[in-house]
Structure 1
Amino acid sequence: MLRAWQDSPTRLTEDTNAERDLRVGAYRDRLFVELAQNAADAAFAAKTPGRVRVSVVDGELRVANTGAPLDTRGVESLASLRASAKEQQETVGRFGVGFAAVLTVTDEPRVVSTTGGVVFSAGRTRQEAQRDGEVPVLRLLWPTDEQPPTGYDTEVRLPLREPESGKALLDGLATEIPDLLLALPWLAEVDVDGRVWTRSGDQLVEIHGPGGDRRWLTHEGWAIPVDPDGVPLPLEEDVLHAPTPTDDALSLPARLIAPVPVEPSRRRVLPGAALTAALEAAAKDYVGLVREIPAEHRFSLVPAAGFPRSTVDAQMRDLVFAVLEEEPWLSTQDGAEISGRRARVLDVDVPGLPPLLADLVPGLVPAPPGAARVLKPVSAQPLTIEDVLDLLTGIGREPEWWHRLYAALAVAVDTHDVSPAQLDGLPVPLSDGRTLPGARGALLVDGSNELLALLSDVDVPGLRLVHPAAAHPLLERLGAKHADAHQLLEADQVQFAVERSVEDVRSGMDGMNLAGAVLRLIAECGDQAPEWAGALALPAEDGWRRADELVLPESPLLDVFDPEVFEEDGAMSVLDDEFAEDWPQSTLVATGVLDSFAVVRDEEPHEPDHGLPDEESWWDSLDRPPLTVAAVRDLDLVADDAWPAALRLLAARPETWQALHTPDGHARWWLARYALLAGEAPGSWRLPGAAELTGLYDEVPDLGLSEDLLLAAGVRTGLGLSTVEDAADLLDRLGDAGRTLSPGLAARAHRALVESDVDVEELGAPARVRVADGSVAEAEHAVVLDVPWPAAALDAARIVAATEDPERLAELLDLPLASSLTAEVTSTGEYVPWAGLPALRLVADQLGLVLPDGGPLLHDSLTVTLDGAEHDVPWWTDGRLHAADTSEGLARAFAWAAGHWAERYRITALLDDPSPRTLLN
């Protein structure tokens, strides 16, 4: 070397400049990198994991390592530029210039080994070269007998130009160690002044050090940090490692440690075919690294979009994208692996949605938020929420599946990743098996689990009930409405289904679902049911019947109604025993099934349309339409011999008792006409206390009924007549010769007939009538006394007395009036004015009566011919007033003429004895 310098003075300058370039340029900050890779090469040569110890001793930086010791070729490499003694591809150093990095801290480096040592010295080189100033340090070397520390095979000793910088130098070196242990697999341990780092593992490399542990998942030259659970921690920025760091920046999530061609400075890659081939191979290996990551975390290994950080970065990113686009690495929802090009991924964050769409979307990849954007460079197809709705249209799924779908979408709506407007048209399964395109108009049922279970199988045309198993709050946000039991019972569709239910069941449809659903609705409404609930088809002993045509199996009505009622096609049937056991009695009764007599109520009746027996007749019997209707139904079904029991049943409940006592009510009206007590209508009997009716009506037998109940049923306390039948019955009783009536009772009976509203046209003429003496006479011989004078000429056994309105009585009885009989006065009388009768003037004065005009024809003996017979009478009138010349005749004629007929008896007495005593008595 000295001869070369002497023979060519420029050679010394060239070596000096070259070394300076390495010191201040290529290796200015690579001291420990170069020493560490030499130590790694020594460990590889010895085929034993290497150890390195770094320390500062007496102002010297000392780096000791294990492995193959220094040999002759190594010394030659140290003393020459670009003449490395390492030939194996697995080694790191190749150019023989890396040792120049020591010149950044020292001018007197030494390398001591178990096989010998060498010393480099700037001072001694100046002396040997006889030069001043700057000279090459690493061209001349001298032997040394120094030995490395025990346990190590080689040690580099670097006297520091600035001894005080030792600690800072050690601290700076410590920051490089974790990355170097990863890049140099033959290094197992580095000790920096007592601080120890170790490397373990093969594919999963763990670097343990004072600052904590770090894990790297590696695969064919790629490495990515992972946490203890294996979750990757992608890098945001890095440099290409070859295997030690270069200056070529990368933006890949993982570190590339690849044998790419680099410049002698090891800071930059060498462009060309070799580099392209190396990067292509690395890209293919990158897919392997990705597959080592759990499927749910692989998305983080897709390089992020953005500007490349270097030419190599741009090239590497494009190659990685291309490989990820074509090679399988994405795990689909059904467990397969596909390439990016075949993948479909949701572009919205709906975590629970991909599992539900697995069989609908081939290649669907469950992905974290933003994955669609991340996977765009690898040609993954984004799936919008609109695409999802298109996929859902027309599919068939269980209601529970739809509920899970809504739950997943609800989270996206809550986080504003999806707007409610985007879900317009989301299919909604209904309880009847149909699917509604959108939630608007659908009903979410509020109620018990039992109700929801029953509604899940019911088919009510037109009623859009969301299937209970699919119901979710999201649907309300999308336009569905909540409906509780009350609202459902008010729905026209439910009413229509109930009203058609019997017909539907008899046509072959299953009515059990609808029956159960409606009964549960009624139960959840507190057993309050609409009137039309009675049309609900329920199972009976003889098939299916309307609820209001059924009787509970234990109902007392079974002992009250006529047995014919329960015959096939009869008016009523008995509810199926097993079905009755499944439901509360109160619910069944609210629906219309009878446990006892039911009450029909209408607060605003408009016409007789309540299904009551003979309702129109009752309605017509009233002076005006009823303001309310509170009546008992099915009274016409009671057996003839069961009325006492039926009345007791009516009295047992407040609602039927109240209906029984409603003024002008239907129940009272109907019982009085059609009920039977001891085989007779109630009006045929009298209460025990109604003694004034004795002889006309018999006392009601003891039937175990209270007087109040008997009265409500129509048992008599008086002679009130409300129907033609009542009047006809009374006439029959009056014409019954077997009955003994007092004249007064007969007169009261006739008065009752007159006062009744009975239409004469509807009443038949009696064959016999009760006459004034209390006997019974043939009607053809009887007359109604309408004026007083014929009474004296008629037999009492012919006269029917009428104290009021004799014309109406005669019309009702179809009898002639007494005044219509043909009579002739046969005696001769003399006209005498009233004023010409002194005795009458005195009587009129005593009584304060005014004498009328005119006067009678006074007869000594007044006789008339009537029906061919002559009769003596006290007075008469035939257009002229006639009077016998007796006190009785004058008194009656005067009382009649004066208009004071009631005074006839006093006038008679005063004519016989006009003394004051007579008047006073």
Structure 2
Amino acid sequence: MNEVAGGAADPFGTVRLREAVLRAWRDSPTRFTEDTNSERDLRVGAYRDRLFVELAQNAADAAQLAGEPGRIRVSVVDGELRFANTGAPLDTRGVESLASLRASAKQGTVGRFGVGFAAVLTVTDEPRVVSTSGGVAFSAQRTREASGRDGDVPVLRLPFPVTEQPADGFATEVRLPLRESGQGLLDGLAKEIEDLLLALPWLAEAEVDGRKWTRSGEEIVEITSPTGQRRWLKHGVWAVPVDADGVPRPLEDDLLHAPTPTDEGLSLPARLIAEVPLEPSRRRVLPGAELTRALENAASEYVELVRAVKAEYRPILVPAAGFPQSAVDAQLKDLVYAALAQEPWLATVDGREVSGQQARVLDVDGLAPLLADVIPGLVRADPRLLKPVSAHVLGIGDVLEVLTGIDREPGWWRKLYAELAVAVESHALSANQLDGLPVPLSDGRTLPGVKGALLVDGSSELRELLSDVDVPGLRLVHPGAAHQLLELLGAKHADARQLLEAEQLQYAVEHSVADVQSGLDGMNLAGAVLRLVTDCGAQAPEWIGALALPAEDGWRRADELVLPTSPLLEVIDPEVFEPDGALSVLDEEFAEDWPTETLVAAKVLDSFAVVLDEEPHEPDHNLPDEEQWWDSFEQPPTTVVSIRDLDLVADDAWPDALRLIASRPETWQALHSPDGHAGWWLARYALLAGEAPGSWRLASATELAGLYDPVPDLDLSDDLLRAVGVRTGLDLEPAEDVTDLLQRLGDPQRTPTPGLVARAHAALVAAPVDIAEVDAPARVRAADGSVVEDAVVLDVPWVAAALDPAKIVVAPTEPERLAELLDVPVASSLKAEVDSAGEYVAWADLPALALAADQLGIAVPDGGVLLHDPLTVTVGGETAEVPWWSDDRLHAADTSEGLARAFAWASDHWAERYRITALLEDPAPRTLLN
């Protein structure tokens, strides 16, 4: 061990070091000045605010040399700032470094007592370093004394041995007598401790004026301070703050650490703590290839740092674009961008990793999970974060282009719409930008945009059924995809009623049978349409009857089907239900799935159905004999109300059929429609006891007795019988009625009264029929009630007295028409001749007639009459005596009866002939009173 004067120990050979320096100053006067200036430059320049940084570096190096984590303690004792550390104690090379302005004992460590120690001069000019191996002191005053110079001198060139020992538990302690109070220094150090512990991994604990900090962990470095704990994710040369869950808390403005802070500003989210070439001041980097290599390595390790973070947080570690904080910052950011662009680190939504330039990112948040299998390399992140690393940012237009033509489940589209709706509501997107958004339809197609799309309103059952319906032209949004966004974009809502009124649905229904026959499945359409009917309250348009439904013999139109439980099955002819018959029976299992009222509304027959057309244009309602009924009107009917399928009733089932009609209000009303088709047809073709209704009379219609028999007891009400044409009178409409009555009149087995015969003949004359359509009878009913084959219709009254009553048919009106119907001559057409001679007498010359005319108020006509006594005529070869006659002249027998009839005819008061006769026989006034 070396000794100095007085026997003091000098373990580090400070005498030799001082002599060498003093010799150098003597040999080169400028050297002293250079050392003085260099130290001043370090003190006021490079190391002016790096006191604790440099001391901490030395402490970390001592710990590394000792191979165990180090501790430091900083305090102010008796006006001295004392910085104690564990680790390797001071050695000779360390002292040599302390006394050199240009050298360092660094060997695998950072700044172990090198030029950085000059930082102590910012607070003192009497520093000491004491260690368990010995100590040295530096002093401005002792340097002046040794050099023989005054003024400013280099303090750290002449070491002097000291015998002090560091604080217990520490290997080395730097003691700095302070020019000013040290509390401010301690507070400043407290702010730097966390950064120093992070940058210097060999430091595990720091104590500052009783306050303690500790460092633990390697990949996750936890630094515990008096105020809490902070975590850093450490990977290679990079460190980034993280929270307890490992979520990074990116930095903003920072400094390059090498490993302690430099003046090189950085704007990366993480801290760079790296060995880079520095200027002697350790504040600035040295440009060149070595720096470039160090930054390239750092950029490569940055990718690994990012990958060490949970995938969802990685994008926030991309350096933000903007003006660089320094040239190093600009160079480093470019290198980091390039590395992130080329190397995989971004987690895609489908679980792979891609580089920045392979990544695709959406500018609409929330869509990424849905589009993962549509867009390769899709990453969920803020597009602004990934632009610097060459990620491809996809706008909504790009998304719509990608979506066009893809096939996805309806639920997938609904989720997509929900995310887009959020974007629209937050004004991240406008509705106009979504023009062309694909919309899945119930028929399996995808509509390029919402134009014409319909959102189904209704029950869940309806929406489910419509989800598989193919209705060409009806753009029903698949219920599984329906979302309010579509309404915002222009889709229209459609409820069950609106759908039932859709022309496209009508077309599909009207072609459904043909579609099923061509091999398509009709069950979906059938179910959907019936559900629409159900949701509409069992109201449906007429064309719904064309809907294909399953029947016992295949698929048929709904209006060609009868419910399995319908009473129609008991009244319709069984042949109707044979294959290819007019009707079939609805499949029983299918019928059980739907309410009867729904099936009936869909025109499936439960009973007789009503046909209603309030604006008919032609007889096209598929009613039996409809054209004939239509043509029976002078003007086309304004309304058609009838009952269909009447022609399918079995001949022996009409009573039951009529009771069924009467049991339903709608068919009962149709039957009673004025001039309606139903009543018209039933009167002609229904059978009651084997006969048409018009062949019978009501039991109460006794005035028809003798011509018509009372209807048998069929348990049918008089109202119903009357409605279907059972007679209450002699109304004759079709030619068949006229023919039937003519035959009845000519039937000798019938016994009509003379009055009924007269009324029947009047009805025949009044019947609105074309005589050409009526077959003439073989026999006719004469005036005396007898049935004869030869007769004449009395068309003039004077002939009646000349003919046998058994030869005369009386016509109350229009005898010529009756004669034509009966195909017999009129009486006036018979050859007749007056046989007797008569004497002409003027009416005015017959006082008795004048008196009778006066009493009756009849004016005596001009002219006169040929009087015969008796008056005989020959008619048809037979001679008869008659009371009066008319040919070219008027003849009368000279009797009261003859004169009265002739005068009544001449005066045009034929109805008064009987009173005139009475007055001629007894002109007394009482004659008119009796």
Write the letter of the residue equivalent to 2:254.
D
Alignment match, 2:111: 93
CA separation in 2, counterparts of 1:289 and 1:455? 54
Look up the SS of the partner of 2:377 in the other structure: coil
Comparing 466-475 with 272-281, greater Cα deviation is found at 466-475
Comparing 754-763 with 151-160, greater Cα deviation is found at 151-160
Alignment of 1:808-847 (within 5 A): 808-847=817-856
Alignment match, 2:872: 863
Write the letter of the residue equivalent to 1:348.
D
CA separation in 2, counterparts of 1:151 and 1:450? 84
Q: Is the 8 A contact 1:875 1:890 kept in 2?
A: yes
Task: Please list the CA deviations of residues 148-167 of structure 1 after superposition, one character each: whole Å capped at 9, or x if unmatched.
Answer: 3333333222222112xx22
Q: 1:698 aligned to 2:704?
A: no
Alignment match, 2:177: 159
State the shift of 1:507 in Å.
2.3
Write the letter of the residue equivalent to 2:763.
A
State the shift of 1:382 in Å.
3.8
Alignment match, 1:351: 366
Distance 1:369 1:802, change over 3 A: same
Q: Is the 8 A contact 2:64 2:87 kept in 1?
A: yes
Equivalent in 905, 909, 917 of residue 908 of structure 1: 917
Alignment match, 1:876: 885
Write the letter of the residue equivalent to 1:365.
V
State the shift of 1:565 in Å.
1.1
CA separation in 2, counterparts of 1:524 and 1:599? 22
CA separation in 2, counterparts of 1:15 and 1:176? 30
Comparing 4-13 with 24-33, greater Cα deviation is found at 4-13
State the shift of 1:8 in Å.
5.2
Q: 1:440 aligned to 2:451?
A: yes
Q: Is the 8 A contact 2:204 2:214 kept in 1?
A: yes
Q: 1:229 aligned to 2:249?
A: no
Alignment match, 2:751: 740
State the shift of 1:663 in Å.
0.8
CA separation in 1, counterparts of 2:511 and 2:555? 12
State the shift of 1:384 in Å.
4.2
Q: 1:66 aligned to 2:81?
A: no
Alignment of 1:279-298 (within 5 A): 279-298=295-314
Report the count of equivalent residues. 910
Alignment match, 1:368: 382
Task: Please list the CA deviations of residues 262-299 of structure 1 after superposition, one character each: whole Å capped at 9, or x if unmatched.
Answer: 22221122233332222222222222112112222222
State the shift of 1:643 in Å.
1.5
Alignment match, 1:122: 140
Alignment match, 1:326: 342
Equivalent in 455, 458, 461 of residue 469 of structure 2: 458
Identity among equivalent pairs (%): 74
Q: Is the 8 A contact 1:522 1:587 kept in 2?
A: yes
Look up the SS of the partner of 1:504 in the other structure: helix
Alignment match, 2:511: 500
Equivalent in 505, 522, 544 of residue 533 of structure 1: 544
Comparing 643-652 with 12-21, greater Cα deviation is found at 12-21
State the shift of 1:94 in Å.
4.8
Alignment of 1:72-221 (within 5 A): 72-87=92-107, 89=108, 91-94=109-112, 96-163=114-181, 166-221=182-237
CA separation in 2, counterparts of 1:359 and 1:443? 29
State the shift of 1:596 in Å.
0.8
Alignment of 1:507-586 (within 5 A): 507-586=518-597
State the shift of 1:755 in Å.
1.7
Task: Please list the CA deviations of residues 334-365 of structure 1 after superposition, one character each: whole Å capped at 9, or x if unmatched.
Answer: 32323333x1323522432x344434443333
Q: Is the 8 A contact 1:81 1:95 kept in 2?
A: no
User: What 5-or-longer segments of structure 2 have no aligned partner?
Assistant: 1-17
Write the letter of the residue equivalent to 1:919.
L
CA separation in 1, counterparts of 2:719 and 2:613? 26
Write the letter of the residue equivalent to 1:218.
K
Look up the SS of the partner of 1:669 in the other structure: helix
Equivalent in 605, 610, 618 of residue 594 of structure 1: 605
CA separation in 1, counterparts of 2:774 and 2:331? 120
Look up the SS of the partner of 1:797 in the other structure: helix
Alignment match, 2:4: none
Look up the SS of the partner of 1:447 in the other structure: coil
State the shift of 1:623 in Å.
3.3
Q: Is the 8 A contact 1:83 1:95 kept in 2?
A: no
CA separation in 1, counterparts of 2:580 and 2:451? 45
Q: Is the 8 A contact 1:52 1:65 kept in 2?
A: yes
Q: Is the 8 A contact 1:345 1:371 kept in 2?
A: no
Write the letter of the residue equivalent to 2:578.
E
CA separation in 2, counterparts of 1:284 and 1:896? 141
Write the letter of the residue equivalent to 1:269.
V
CA separation in 2, counterparts of 1:503 and 1:259? 85
Q: Is the 8 A contact 1:338 1:363 kept in 2?
A: yes
CA separation in 1, counterparts of 2:82 and 2:514? 105
State the shift of 1:194 in Å.
2.6
Write the letter of the residue equivalent to 2:69.
P
Alignment of 1:242-391 (within 5 A): 242-341=258-357, 343-346=358-361, 348-352=363-367, 354-376=368-390, 380-391=391-402
Q: Is the 8 A contact 2:774 2:821 kept in 1?
A: yes
CA separation in 2, counterparts of 1:178 and 1:94? 21
Look up the SS of the partner of 1:249 in the other structure: strand
User: What 5-or-longer segments of structure 1 have no aligned partner?
Assistant: none
Q: What root-mean-square deviation, in Å, do the aligned CA atoms of Structure 1 and Structure 2 show? A: 2.3
Comparing 500-509 with 134-143, greater Cα deviation is found at 134-143
Q: Is the 8 A contact 1:219 1:289 kept in 2?
A: yes
State the shift of 1:128 in Å.
4.4
State the shift of 1:131 in Å.
4.1
Distance 1:324 1:847, change over 3 A: closer
Look up the SS of the partner of 2:757 in the other structure: helix
Alignment of 1:601-750 (within 5 A): 601-750=612-761
Alignment match, 1:798: 807
Comparing 133-142 with 542-551, greater Cα deviation is found at 133-142
Task: Please list the CA deviations of residues 728-759 of structure 1 after superposition, one character each: whole Å capped at 9, or x if unmatched.
Answer: 11111111211111111111111111222121
Q: Is the 8 A contact 2:341 2:389 kept in 1?
A: no
CA separation in 2, counterparts of 1:372 and 1:281? 22
State the shift of 1:241 in Å.
0.8
Q: Is the 8 A contact 1:599 1:633 kept in 2?
A: yes
TM-score by length of 1: 0.94
CA separation in 2, counterparts of 1:843 and 1:328? 140
Distance 1:822 1:295, change over 3 A: same
CA separation in 2, counterparts of 1:449 and 1:364? 36
Comparing 111-120 with 294-303, greater Cα deviation is found at 111-120
Look up the SS of the partner of 2:851 in the other structure: helix
Equivalent in 31, 34, 48 of residue 51 of structure 2: 31
State the shift of 1:7 in Å.
5.6
Look up the SS of the partner of 1:53 in the other structure: strand
Task: Please list the CA deviations of residues 586-624 of structure 1 after superposition, one character each: whole Å capped at 9, or x if unmatched.
Answer: 221111111111111111111111111111111111232
Q: Is the 8 A contact 1:349 1:370 kept in 2?
A: no
Alignment of 1:742-761 (within 5 A): 742-761=753-772
Q: Is the 8 A contact 2:843 2:861 kept in 1?
A: yes
